[in-house]
Amino acid sequence: MSRDDASTLDRRPAESSSALAGAVATVTALGLGLAVGEPVPALVSLLGGLTVAAGVWSLRESSHARVAVGSASVVLGTAAFTGSAWLTGDAWLLATYLGFALGATFVVVDATSGLVPDDADADPLPRMLRAASAATAVGVGVAALLTVAAYVDLLSVALGAVESGIHPLVGFATLQAGVVAGLLLLDRAVPILDSWLPSPAATTDRALDGLAAVGTDWWEIDRSIRVAVAIQLVVAFAPVAQRLFDRFLASVPVVGRVLRVALSGPLHVPLAACLLLLLGVVAADVVRRWTVRSLGDDPAITLALAAGGIVVPALALLGGTALAAVGVTVPVGDSLAGTGNYAAATAALLGVLVALTACRAVVHVLSAVAREGTLPRRTAGFATGSALLFVTTLVAAELGLAPLLVLAGAAAALLVWDTGAHASSVGAQLGRDAETTDSEFVHVTGTAAVLGVGVVAVLLVRYALFPFVVPTAAAGLSPATVIALGLVLLSVLLVTVALLSHRERPRQRERAGGEG
């Protein structure tokens, strides 16, 4: 192999062995998850984990469309984790479902694209999680605002206020405050409108100059005017002041009646429309500036990375609105029954945001551990995934999982680790596409045989030796406790054998080099 070929070699885990490790992890997670509890949350969590794994693989492609699909897949997968938490009432069952699902996810990610790639600084996964979390946080804010608006029935309140009218004194004070707010907004909105127009005509220039002359800054308004408007806003809601104002209007027969009608709401409608228009211009410019700053130097890739955080909140809000329109509502609480599905969408998006934050923390910790050399970078996913499968199997044993399935799950977790480590070793030396089927078959077969002997030994200890060695008084020990103890001893034995074999390989290589 030439030096150029070695530099461009795909050093991901060997394809056949890594595929076997991923398949064993997936089947183990599916089988044990279905055996320990309810099928729906087990399937939802596992499908979510596989969706996350597929999204991570798609993220590391060069196409922007593939990156966007990967971002959406990762966020949808984390949403499935949130859904499994919603479907499960028991905390230990939820931990079991998520443990199996995450274990399979780590293994599949390492088998396809590597959990911690060679160039971790250029990995798009942390950037994607950060961008999607920010977009999801915006979605949570929008959903929360819609929930509040639906809870207080803002539209009905506003229409009721217009129909019933307001007290003339309150209308008089709010009109003055609205005019001051309009002058302040004009000062901000006119330069924005001027920058939006590509080549304004002479009439447009004159109109903008006139609006700019009317608009003013907060500090340019006389202090006495600001104080007077503030005092009027406070006094206008006092019952004594309102009665005095009513007497004043009644003392003026014709003008007083006209002022009472005009100050009760009709003048507020065009003023509110103008204020909303100006506020929309200012808000649009703020959003534009924030978007440009957030997108950075490469808007296309930034949008692709944040696609999941945009698509999932949009689907949650639009789907919730459509369901509420046809009369289907997701119950959240009796006090929020009148919010349609916005409260449920807010809760779901908040759960997705928490799950994305947890994923960011996990990726950061694994990257830091791999960078420090505590955990081998090439086998970080296989090691973490197999450990999760093993520990979750022991937890499932305490939840009533059959002893034979406990043994099978623990053996499968060890098989996943050994097969994944072997695939990583072969891929690092010969490349991912190397044709090593025969040697991999021999290795996997040998590992499976050793694990089979270990399982048979534990069964013999439990059902043949245990009843004779342990006194009768201890016969009440649960099988799960005995199986767990046997698995711990078996794992210690296997780790010892693995360490001895790894120490022996360098000696054999030194002897072979000396003979050569």
How confident is the model over 44-61, as pLDDT tens digits? 999 999 999 999 989 888
pLDDT at res. 69: 92
pLDDT at res. 438: 62
Terminal C-alpha separation, the chain: 21
What is the average pLDDT across 427-449?
A: 67
Inter-residue contact 25 to 419 (CB < 8 Å): no
DSSP codes, 213-263: HH---GGGS-HHHHHHHHHHHHHTT-HHHHHHHHHHHHHSHHHHHHHHHHT
Q: Which two tokens stand for residue 1?
A: 């192999």
CA angle 276, 280, 282 (to 5 degrees): 120
What is the sign of the dihedral through the CA atoms of 411, 412, 415 and 420?
negative
What is the average pLDDT across 343-369?
A: 89
CA angle 75, 34, 354 (to 5 degrees): 25
Residue 514 has pLDDT above 60, yes or no: no
What is the average pLDDT across 337-342?
A: 72
* pLDDT band at 157; cut points 50, 70, 90: low
436/2 Cα distance (integer angstroms): 20
* pLDDT band at 357; cut points 50, 70, 90: very high
Residue 162 has pLDDT above 90, yes or no: no
13/318 Cα distance (integer angstroms): 42
Q: What region does 376 belong to: left with phi over 0, alpha with psi -120 to 50, or beta?
A: beta
Residue 377 has pLDDT above 70, yes or no: yes
With a CB cutoff of 8 Å and minimum separation 6, the contacts of 447 are 414, 415, 418, 419
Check: pTM over 0.85? Answer yes or no.
Answer: no
Reported as type and span, the H/E element at residue 340 is none
CA angle 398, 39, 352 (to 5 degrees): 95
- Cβ contacts of 222-226, under 8 Å, gap ≥ 24: 225/180, 226/180
DSSP character at residue 514: H
Inter-residue contact 385 to 89 (CB < 8 Å): no
458-483 residue pLDDT tens:
666 656 655 655 554 444 555 655 55
Reported as type and span, the H/E element at residue 44 is helix 39-59
